[in-house]
Amino acid sequence: MQPDMTHDAGARSWLDAANRDDTPFPLQNLPFSVFRRAGAGEPFRGGVALGDQVIDLGALAEAGVLSGLAAEAARACGAPTLNVFFGMGPPAWRALRHALFELFRQSGAQSRNDLPAHCLVPQAVVEYGLPAQIGDYTDFYTSIDHARNIVRLLRPDGALSPNFQWMPVAYHGRTSSIGLSGQTVRRPIGQRLPAGQSEPELAACARLDYELELGIFIGVGNEQGTRIPVGSAEEHVFGLCLLNDWSARDIQSWESTPLGPFHAKNFATTISPWIVTMDALIPFRTGWSRPPGEPQPLPYLASPATCERGAIDIQLEVALETATHRRSGAAPTRLSRTSFRHQYWTIGQMVTHHTVGGCNLRSGDLLGSGTISGPTQAEAGALIELTRAGQSPVSLETGETRAFLEDGDAIVMTGWCERAGYARIGFGENRGEIVPADCL
């Protein structure tokens, strides 16, 4: 968990695009995805972002420029999904990261002459696939600021559910509707109970929302009937991506009692294509603690490492682009900005709690962090918070207002980490656009 040579801010690449101040993908990042050249009819395979290029890991393995465990890991990444590579564990992940760093750093410029040209593919000509075969998806609810904002809107007493401060609350979601950035999201239809009515109706969602989250990809799973200790939980996590947990608020409020969301959440979840590894995030770790007077975690959710470095300072931003933005060429309007460091429960605690009853996680499983909101109104991670459940619509730079999302709106999420003495690294973009519901 300590920075190593791959975090050296002074390290430069012989690939000039990786040295630009505005790139989210410098040499110190090296995030993973699955890609292919658009329209070429070739299979998907694993790649790593560097500047404006994708390092083709399968081609790199065939070129014979890697050796040992790094070569084995690169060969595993030649598959259409990264599940086998994830299952190889931290030694293989780290070996490949270190080998790529050395291969593409400026001091290793001789390797440029040994590297076949087809090992680098411009990002401008590729399309992405889901990075893993996602067997299971679990969405958590772990921001106390988000939870408090919601209960103030929905309950007169504003009281949290009694379990929130004792465990990371979660529900199981759908994998079939998980899509990549650029996903078209059709407005869902479901039962809702309009205000003032005593009987529900079947209708298109009228209160469509987004939720700013991080996606957590499981690398190494556990056997059924065993549990993952919190002190070693992050050794089972490969990395993080951006995640939009689209939510139909009017459908959700009617159906959630007593078993939780169903149609309100299962129609779409959008993730960004690049997975930033836990190793890349090491410089941005920070301490985690509970405010005085609040319940402390039960022993199975507590460890010295959790307190010392359980939180991660990931800056996150949400912007809204309407059809008017696109017609006028205007940039999307920023809605909010916050940090993942505010989360009430850590990634390690989520993983541990998921397995405490003997549930077996598998390589490629996806966890959602839950909506990420900070302590101020400007840090809210969903429209329902920003607009006080639609009572105070937000004003956009186009002169429009929004209480909830309208057809043609696109939500754009970005994320990055920066700290003095280290290179700024980014997650890329997560974008999804709303289209009208099917006719009933």
Please indicate if the annotation marks 265 as binding a ligand.
yes
Name the β-bridge partners of 422: none
Closest CA to 31 of 137, 117, 123: 123
Q: At which residue do the structure tokens 């969903």 appear?
A: 382
State how far the Cα of 276 lies from the Cα of 396, in Å rounded to an integer: 31
* Interatomic CA distance for residues 204 and 192, integer angstroms: 9
Q: Determine whether the annotation assigns residue 252 to a binding site.
A: yes
Q: Is the dihedral of CA 288, 290, 291, 292 positive or negative?
A: negative
Please list the alpha-helical segments (H only) found in 29-120.
57-63, 68-76, 83-87, 90-104, 110-114
Which residue in the list 7, 118, 146, 172 is annotated as catalytic?
146
Query: Is 223 buried (19+), middle (13-18) or exposed (0-12) by CB count in 10 A?
Result: exposed
269 annotated as ligand-binding? yes
- In this structure, what token pair is assigned to residue 208? 């469509």
- Under 8 Å between Cβ of 238 and 90: no
Q: Is residue 433 within 8 Å of residue 332, measured between CB atoms?
A: no
Q: How far apart are CA 21 and CA 369, in angstroms?
A: 29
Measure CA of the first residue to CA of the last residue in the chain; give whole Å: 53
DSSP category for residue 293: T
> From the DSSP assignment, how many helices (H) and strands (E) are in the chain?
11, 26
Amino acid, single-letter form, for residue 2: Q
146 assigned to active site: yes
Two structure tokens written together for 353: 């709690």
Q: Is 155 annotated as a binding residue?
A: yes
- Binding-site residue set for substrate: 141, 155, 252, 371
Which residues does the annotation mark as catalytic? 146
- Binding-site residue set for Mg(2+): 245, 265, 269
